[in-house]
Structure 1
Amino acid sequence: METVPGYTGIARALLERAGARVGDRIRIVQRDGRVFEGILMPRYALSAKPIIVIKLDNGYNIGVRVDEHTEITVVKTREAILREAAAGAPAVVPLLEEQPPLEKRPRVMIIGTGGTIASKIEYETGAVKPAMSARDLVEAVPEIGFIAEVSAEVLMNILSENMRPEYWERIVDAVAKSIAEGFEGIVVAHGTDTMAYTASALAFAFRGLPVPIAFVGAQRSSDRPSSDASFNLISAVLVAARAPFAEVTVVMHGETGDTYALAHRATKVRKMHTSRRDAFQSINARPLARVYPFERRIELVSEPLQRRGEQELRVMNGFERKVALVKYYPGMDSEIIDFLVDRGYRGIVLEGTGLGHVGEWLVDSIRRAVENEIVVVMTSQTLFGRVNMNVYATGRKLLAAGVVPGDDMLPETAFVKLSWVLAHSSSFEEAKRLMRENLAGEINPRHTVDLYPRWPH
């Protein structure tokens, strides 16, 4: 049996000289005096670069570059580690028997669209640059090679705030192509600021999705000690490769430490903090799953809409550009609504107050919009809870004017949905009907008290 599978060249020679085997705890001393210690892992090598993969005590795998001046010693054999673990002593024990053989790993495609998630530091210049080849990714984040056979492509490299509906369409086409080629899961690396919009777009564009799609980003760039890039990427690849559900999700840190990630349903998630690692939260719904990347474990929290492999894919790509998302504020001028009508907009999502209200002086302009067959949808800027326009007089006036209640949809999700609906409906009435239907889990028909976050938790 090969003792150091996957290693070639100087890396293999150093390990054999030290008598090291996969599963042993080793110490690596580099030429410059830096010391790394951890469990020797096998390597799913994509190149002959002199890199040795070890598992640190915090659960992360890292790749350590070696050369002829590197010193390697065995600190503890795998048998000794296993004996200590059996006796109850704390130990990092790699589950080597659970690593799938090379030919049995699921195939996962990683599609890069921008952001810091799939970048690495170029130490010669100090700059962060894309690391989106499969070789770069596995060398930068060795764990993903143990989970899946990874392929990668850079579709675009833009800042998150520069995302546009035409780019959503390009991403839909790229994901559909990868699914047709037999990939068993897709990861989309994306900037965090508009990731929920793009994830929602894919949730509406794919009917009968047969495999998971995991959107992933990083709140902190890979040059920072507190970077969340590796943890999030490992978690997203795990979801794409092994999740039992076939939905579009956003996979990000579930808390500030490196314990678990959460897989959120694309149509119910929102970025709720500018910089925290656990910035993404499910709104008016529970997450789909907790993801424990170092344990290779996915724990379902909510019942999936559909499971892996149950349905046949139908791609319904295309988004209407003439849709606006308008946040109501006290004293808002009706000219804003009139402007959108005069400019030929086909849909308006209003982010109203409370149960779904705007100032009464806007009702006539909204009625004019509806008479021009512009679909007007009401959501709430409170985010939590549900629109109910039958309680107060203003709400009833808006209903009489033809406004469509948005139920508990997030304003951003309603905006994306209306853009998709208008591109795929044959009439004004059909568009209004589709906005009331639960197409991709965007409407939760039942709320429980635990869905509203309270302090203290």
Structure 2
Amino acid sequence: MTDKRILIIYTGGTIGMQNTESGYIPVSGFHSVIDEQLHPPSGSRLPDYDVIEIEPVIDSANLVPGHWPIIASLIQTHYKTYDGFIVLHGTDTMAYSASALSFLLVGLDKPVIFTGSQIPLVELRSDAKDNLCNALILAAYYPVPEVTIFFHGKLMRGNRSTKSKATGLDAFESPNYPWLGQVGSNSEIHSEVVLPATKQQFSCPEFNAHSVAILPIYPGLNENICRSIVETDGLDGLIIRSYGMGNLPNQNKALMAALKSATSNNCIVLNISQCLQAEVYHGHYACSAELNDIGIISGANMTTEAAYTKLLYLLAQGYDREEIYRQLGKSLAGEIDL
């Protein structure tokens, strides 16, 4: 045993699900299952741990922004008591939650590791035990002071990660940033790409789930769809998922007029790419040259999950429009290359 102590926060997700006539559902009381599966043999390197769970536990497909302050507040409440934290979470929205917590927990000097599984822990072929055991060992012995995702041997920055496979055990990738570490026959941390611990700036604002929308660009985008989104009451931010390096169909005059109307009405419009590996650069192609004039901001190489949660976070902080523009161009938690 080690003198390190880790807090496991169980939110639900596949790792703790059981099969029913209606399909897999998350169940409460997962602490006993973890204890049974991880019962340490003599000489185990697993650290001591405690388990708490949110109520009710959720299928992560039902996650909403209001869940993020709940998870963050649990970490903030117990921060001085534990040496690290593991969040057991469903894979569908894990990258959203990890991204959101990276902004709520700026200045970490302890590890917060999200993990889960593609197969429930109680099933024979489950990947859950490996993911959980390795996350516990990393949190205790190889602490990275960031919000990360550990999955299938890879430790990745949470706000650089995205789910790339629905059924494969290697469900997550970090397309625009190196892994922070990996676990195989040995464990290795790439300290040169890990954020240094800084002054804590923890916060727990109330998110307005309806203040930001995401608009995917596709051939033949109907102007009425675009207009209905940008004219939604209470919309303060819009994320465009554009082509390639930030390209929009600039000959779609109705689309461009709707976006110009949005920025003129103080809606913050952020442009990110649909491509996994990309960086938005306005003006590289003529069809994106006018975006700066309209007032659309480049999201550089942020993931969809990071862009969405960062914009929600900045709006929840109550910043004015100019300050949000400034903060979007900064790296708050390693989410963007400068």
Indicate the residue corresponding to 1:320 in structure 2. 208
- 8 A contact 1:188–1:213 mirrored in 2: yes
Aligned CA RMSD, in angstroms, stands at 2.3
Q: What is the CA–CA distance in structure 2 between the aligned matches of 1:412 and 1:303, rounded to whole Å?
A: 20
Give the counterpart letter for 1:314 in structure 2. Answer: Q
Larger Cα-atom Rg: 1
Instruction: Normalising by structure 1, report the TM-score.
Output: 0.67
Give deviations 1:364-404, integer Å, cap 9, x for gaps. 11011001111000001012121111122221112210000
Are residues 1:137 and 2:34 paired?
Answer: yes
How many residues align structurally?
A: 326
Q: What is the CA–CA distance in structure 2 between the aligned matches of 1:217 and 1:289, rounded to whole Å?
A: 17
Indicate the residue corresponding to 1:184 in structure 2. 83
Q: What is the CA–CA distance in structure 1 between the aligned matches of 2:137 and 2:192, rounded to whole Å?
A: 18
What percent identity do the matched residue pairs reach?
A: 30
Q: 1:306-455 residue pairs with structure 2 within 5 A?
A: 306-307=196-197, 311-318=198-205, 319-321=207-209, 322-342=211-231, 343-360=233-250, 361=253, 362-445=255-338
Secondary structure of the equivalent of 2:79? Answer: helix
Give the counterpart letter for 1:356 in structure 2. Answer: G
- 8 A contact 1:270–1:281 mirrored in 2: yes
Provide closer, same or farther for how the CA distance between residues 366 and 379 of structure 1 changes in structure 2, counting only shifts above 3 A: same
Indicate the residue corresponding to 2:119 in structure 1. 220
Shift of 1:413: 1.3
Indicate the residue corresponding to 1:269 in structure 2. 161
Shift of 1:242: 2.2
Q: What is the CA–CA distance in structure 1 between the aligned matches of 2:235 and 2:282, rounded to whole Å?
A: 24
Q: What is the CA–CA distance in structure 1 between the aligned matches of 2:25 and 2:176, rounded to whole Å?
A: 40
Unpaired runs of at least 5, structure 1? 1-99, 254-260, 446-457
Give the counterpart letter for 1:429 in structure 2. Answer: E
Q: What is the CA–CA distance in structure 2 between the aligned matches of 1:244 and 1:127, rounded to whole Å?
A: 32
Which stretches of structure 1, 4 residues or more, deviate above 6 A after TM superposition? none
Indicate the residue corresponding to 2:60 in structure 1. 160
- 8 A contact 2:26–2:59 mirrored in 1: no
Q: What is the CA–CA distance in structure 2 between the aligned matches of 1:401 and 1:119, rounded to whole Å?
A: 47
Q: What is the CA–CA distance in structure 1 between the aligned matches of 2:164 and 2:174, rounded to whole Å?
A: 10
- 8 A contact 1:286–1:302 mirrored in 2: no
Indicate the residue corresponding to 1:6 in structure 2. none
- 8 A contact 1:283–1:384 mirrored in 2: yes
Q: 1:165-176 residue pairs with structure 2 within 5 A?
A: 165-176=65-76
Indicate the residue corresponding to 2:104 in structure 1. 205
Q: Which has the higher contact order (CA 8 A, sep 6+)?
A: 2
Provide closer, same or farther for how the CA distance between residues 204 and 247 of structure 1 changes in structure 2, counting only shifts above 3 A: same
Q: Of 269, 282, 301, which aligns to 2:174?
A: 282
Give deviations 1:331-359, integer Å, cap 9, x for gaps. 11233333233322000000001111222
Are residues 1:106 and 2:4 paired?
Answer: yes
Q: What is the CA–CA distance in structure 1 between the aligned matches of 2:145 and 2:72, rounded to whole Å?
A: 15
Provide closer, same or farther for how the CA distance between residues 198 and 128 of structure 1 changes in structure 2, counting only shifts above 3 A: closer
Instruction: Normalising by structure 2, report the TM-score.
Output: 0.90
- 8 A contact 1:131–1:137 mirrored in 2: no
Q: What is the CA–CA distance in structure 1 between the aligned matches of 2:333 and 2:7, rounded to whole Å?
A: 23
Shift of 1:245: 2.0
Secondary structure of the equivalent of 1:113? Answer: strand
Indicate the residue corresponding to 2:194 in structure 1. 304
Provide closer, same or farther for how the CA distance between residues 432 and 127 of structure 1 changes in structure 2, counting only shifts above 3 A: closer
Q: Of 87, 93, 102, which aligns to 1:194?
A: 93
Shift of 1:116: 2.6
- 8 A contact 1:175–1:186 mirrored in 2: yes
Q: What is the CA–CA distance in structure 2 between the aligned matches of 1:118 and 1:242, rounded to whole Å?
A: 25
Secondary structure of the equivalent of 2:270? Answer: strand
Q: What is the CA–CA distance in structure 1 between the aligned matches of 2:19 and 2:301, rounded to whole Å?
A: 42
- 8 A contact 1:105–1:147 mirrored in 2: no
Q: 1:25-44 residue pairs with structure 2 within 5 A?
A: none
- 8 A contact 1:106–1:149 mirrored in 2: yes
- 8 A contact 1:196–1:266 mirrored in 2: yes
Shift of 1:433: 1.3
Secondary structure of the equivalent of 1:351? Answer: strand
